[in-house]
A and B are shown apart, each in its own frame.
Chain A
Amino acid sequence: MSVFSAKRYDGDDHNTSHNLHEHHDEHHDDHHGPAKGILRWVFTTNHKDIGTLYLVFALAMFFVGGAMAMIIRAELFQPGLQLVQPEFFNSMTTMHALVMVFGMMMPAFVGLANWMLPMMIGAPDMALPRMNNMSFWLLVAGVLLLASTLFMEGGAPAAGWTLYPPLVLQTKAAFPFAVFSVHLLGISSIMGSINIIATITNMRAPGMTLWKMPIFAWTWLITAFLLIAVMPVFAGAVTMLLTDKFFGTSFFSAAGGGDPVLYQHIFWFFGHPEVYILILPSFGVASTIIPVFSRKPLFGYGSMVGATIAIALLSFVVWSHHMFTVGMPIIGELFFMWATIAIAVPTGMKVFNWVATMWDGAMSFETPMLFAIAFVVLFTIGGFTGVMMALAPLDFQYHDTYFIVAHFHYVLVPGATFIIMAAVYYWLPKWTGHMYNEKIGRLHFWLSTVSVNILFFPQHFVGLAGMPRRIPDYAIQFSDWNMISSIGGFIFGASQLLFLYIVIDTIRGGTGEKVTNEVWEGARQYGGGIVEGLEWTLPSPPPYHTFTEPPVIKSILPH
């Protein structure tokens, strides 16, 4: 028997050693089901359970962060102050960003990784199951600390998600809670990433070489590397904020020889790779879904991997493009401008590869594919505005306006968030064994896609005309576009209730249609990149434990 085969022991943490020897003979092919009751979810080490926990948590945070966005758009519906105090408005922009980035998008991708990676590479589970449990609960603890600040004297942090000093040092009771929340979220992400790297590098079934691995696994491998490299950097930065406020250090105070701009450098050394942490797994999902619904293999597998690596490496040398107006030496402006523009090359390769994958394919347009196509188109718009802002002299006009708000919402909402939805529609039948309602799915897609453009496209115009971000009031000439943007926002927000309905409905039985192992025609052939899509060889829903014996890896391409 090879070292890769995996039989499970029926052991709790506390009596493993003697159970081992008693049970190992009679339990040769025994698949243990989940534990009963609520404690199943608290103590679980199963990658599917933990994936579900992450995804449900992300969905909840999507609505919490979304509610904050609704407050922001309601206040901006008209010029003047209507609904909330300026301090609270700034708390909302800050918390909306932190909740969406650290509570929604990252956990959603980690959830997808947990559910899918072991099944995609033919592993029995994640490499370090106990640590997997801890990363999830640390995430909850971190978000709890952050959310608790909403109820504190002086309100939640209001200095923006970047937490720039000296402004952030004026935060009242919320300050140390926000710092420690970042620490916990950081530890959680690092643990999750270590687990993903260990799983991908150590748990692949025999024959599943790195260069045959599904592209989603590749993008997560690279993302996990980015996370381990930069989360400690953010932790270090907020630690210095903490000591500056409470222990008398002068890291970010010029009076003592420090420099507030130093914080911006450190933050963005973390922050720029961080935005790629959100988008690289999105690329992975898009590269998984598009071939299936085009019924063609992914175009340019190798170049996709290469482009992902190139983007990841470049992300370490572009951070100062967030700070073009801060007062940098001209050589710095030039370096960061050119490095940033260089990122358009590998990103463009990806977009062309997706288009080439669809080219001449037998395409069909089920909801996952619709979201994936919208991702390609709308993410590219966000990418183009990114190139505009990479040009240092032009950025002086755009900096800190609604133009940048429009830019990063295009890459994060119809970009990353749409592809998370695509992934949910794509894999939900596999996870639950039920088919979602395609009609409502498409309605959700069209409502979201139209409203997201009504919401964010006008923000380009007001931004170019000079409307600053993070301010609850604005000059009267921005009124019309803001009202349109808010209306788009409300429609977008309301449409997401459909998504919630579809997810719950599907879990409870969906259309009642029997779902096959393959679910989507061609998923088995094209859903794995170079090799057969392993998750589609399993029953829907898959048993609690899968690939206890490693699967045989079949290539789909001629050699």
Chain B
Amino acid sequence: MSTKDAYYIPHKATWPVIGTAGLFCMLAGFANYLNGSSAGVFWMLTGLSIFIVMLVGWFTLQSTESESGTFNKQVGNSYRIGMMWFIFSEVAFFCVFFGTLWYTRNLSVPWLGEGATKEFLHPLFEGTWPTNGPEQLGLDKEGNRIFGVEFEPMGAWGLPFLNTLLLLSSGVTCTWAHHGLLKKNRSQLIKGLIATVALGFIFVLCQAVEYHEAYSEGLTLGTGIYGSTFFMLTGFHGFHVCVGAIILSVVLFRSWKGHFTPDNHFAFEAAAWYWHFVDVVWLGLFIFVYLM
């Protein structure tokens, strides 16, 4: 029996417990920080460091095993199924925030601006989108709650449109890199990945510029339901772009070290799937948050 034929079952996994400890420490620290404890930040950073060490260690181990031929085709299938359902769970997570946007825009905001609610509670409120609510909520520079704030919603055709082009082209470069990998053209693979990662980070940079502009004009996370949905959706998306770009950077590093063959490159595929998922979420954002 050759090793290729066996389903690999590892023994004595140390990284999962270390990762759990890191996450626990990070979240307990974050909770303490939110409760105003000064030790919170220390534990948060400690937990985060442990978590990062775990990620590096676990993924190094996986790639060593993969390159030494430990995983057969069936193991690869398990990984692919795992990644697919993980992305499905991410889709469900984003659906909550898209659903929130839909519900508030189309149902609850109009309800606030009609009938007895309007007549008795806040006769001046129109109930039209975009809004920061009957009390026109906002946050001042120190993060304190203020009322009666006027704001400008985000336009679609400046940076956001540029960002759309950036992400769409990064999807193209990613696929081009994949073709390079399949054709055993290593330089095309590496060039494609470099372009993808670069486009990803430029996207994040543009988002940062856009956030900075929004905040300096007084549009914040606290600007009523518009600010809440805008920053929550684009913020979680931006975080996912960062994660995706980091994953792609690791794949780039491994490609540069000569990993992956046309038959064995699950890490590349997983990263590419994730990247396309992030891409599709952005299209949703561009249409529902910026355009409409």
Contacts and interface: CB of A to CB of B under 8 A. Distances in A.
Most A Cβ at <10 Å: residue of B20, B135, B145: B20
A173 B81 contact: no
Contact of B7 (A21, A124, A134, A265): A124
A10 B11 contact: yes
B81 A251 contact: no
A145 B96 CA distance: 24
Given A4-B7, A45-B11, A250 B65 contact: no
A491 interface: no
Interface stretch (B24-32, B155-163, B240-248, B263-271): B24-32
B133 A258 contact: yes
B277 interface: no
B1 A7 contact: yes
A46 B204 CA distance: 41
Interface string B226-269: 11110110000000000000000000000000000000000000
Contacts of B81: 127, 194, 197-198, 201-202
B27 A180 contact: yes
Interface string B173-196: 000000000000000000000000
Most A Cβ at <10 Å: residue of B5, B92, B103, B227: B92
A5 B5 contact: yes
B5 to A, nearest CB: 5
Contact of B92 (A1, A42, A129, A228): A228
Contact of B9 (A5, A129, A198, A240): A129
B273 to A, nearest CB: 14
Contacts of A558: none
Given A129-B10, A198-B78, A248-B221, A3 B103 contact: no
A177 B28 contact: yes
Interface in A112-130: 124-125, 127-130
Q: Interface extent on A, as a size class?
A: 35 or more
Contacts of B58: 130
A246 B64 CA distance: 43
Contacts of A144: 24
B112 interface: yes
Contacts of A193: 85
A248 B220 contact: yes
B114 interface: no
B222 A249 contact: yes
A249 B27 contact: no
Contact of B8 (A9, A177, A195, A228): A9
Interface in A1-59: 1-14, 16-17, 20-21, 24, 28, 32, 35, 42-45
A254 interface: yes
Contact of B11 (A32, A127, A173): A32
Nearest to B136: A256
Interface residues of B, number: 81
Nearest to B72: A3
A184 B22 CA distance: 12
A228 B31 contact: no
Contact of A255 (B2, B96, B134, B232): B134
Contacts of B68: 16-17, 20
Interface in B1-39: 1-3, 5-17, 19-21, 23-24, 27-28, 30-31, 34-35
Contacts of B5: 1-3, 5, 7
A521 interface: no
Q: Is chain A's interface secondary structure helix, strand, loop, or mixed overall?
A: helix
A216 interface: no
A45 B228 contact: no
A131 interface: yes
Contacts of B93: 232-233, 235-236
Nearest to A149: B31
B119 interface: no
A265 B10 CA distance: 42
B171 interface: no
A4 B7 CA distance: 7
Nearest to A235: B93
B224 A256 contact: yes
B42 interface: no
A265 B108 CA distance: 12
A141 B7 contact: no
Contacts of A28: 1
B212 interface: no
A213 interface: no
Contacts of B108: 254, 257-259, 261-262
Contacts of B85: 193-194, 197-198, 228
Interface string B112-123: 100000000000
B96 A236 contact: yes
Contacts of B78: 127-128, 198-199, 202-203
Interface string B269-280: 000000000000
Contacts of A32: 11
A10 B232 CA distance: 47
A158 interface: no
A477 B88 CA distance: 52
Given A16-B68, A249-B232, A262-B100, A184 B12 contact: no
Interface string A234-255: 0111001011001111110111
B17 A130 contact: no
Contacts of A545: 9
Contact of B143 (A127, A232, A248): A248
Most A Cβ at <10 Å: residue of B10, B16, B85, B111: B16
B112 A180 contact: no
Interface string B68-81: 11101110011101
B6 A5 contact: yes
A259 B34 CA distance: 24
Interface string A205-224: 00000000000000000000
Contacts of B8: 9
B206 interface: no
Contacts of A3: 5, 72-74
B226 A257 contact: yes
A301 B140 CA distance: 63
Interface of A: 1-14, 16-17, 20-21, 24, 28, 32, 35, 42-45, 124-125, 127-131, 133-134, 137-138, 140-141, 144-145, 148, 173, 176-177, 179-180, 183-184, 187, 190, 193-195, 197-199, 201-203, 228-233, 235-237, 240, 242-243, 246-251, 253-259, 261-262, 265-266, 545
Interface of B: 1-3, 5-17, 19-21, 23-24, 27-28, 30-31, 34-35, 58, 61, 64-65, 68-70, 72-74, 77-79, 81-82, 85-86, 88-90, 92-93, 95-97, 99-100, 103-104, 107-109, 111-112, 131-135, 137, 139, 143, 145, 220-222, 224-229, 231-232
17 contacts: A3-B5, A6-B6, A7-B6, A43-B12, A141-B20, A187-B23, A194-B82, A194-B89, A198-B85, A202-B74, A228-B85, A231-B89, A232-B92, A254-B133, A257-B226, A259-B107, A262-B103
Given A13-B10, A198-B81, 18 more contacts: A4-B7, A9-B3, A17-B64, A20-B69, A28-B1, A133-B16, A141-B24, A187-B23, A229-B92, A231-B92, A240-B232, A248-B139, A249-B221, A249-B231, A251-B225, A253-B133, A255-B134, A255-B137
For the complex of A and B, the 6 pairs showing the least CB-CB separation, nearest first, are A236-B96, A248-B222, A257-B133, A134-B16, A257-B225, A259-B108
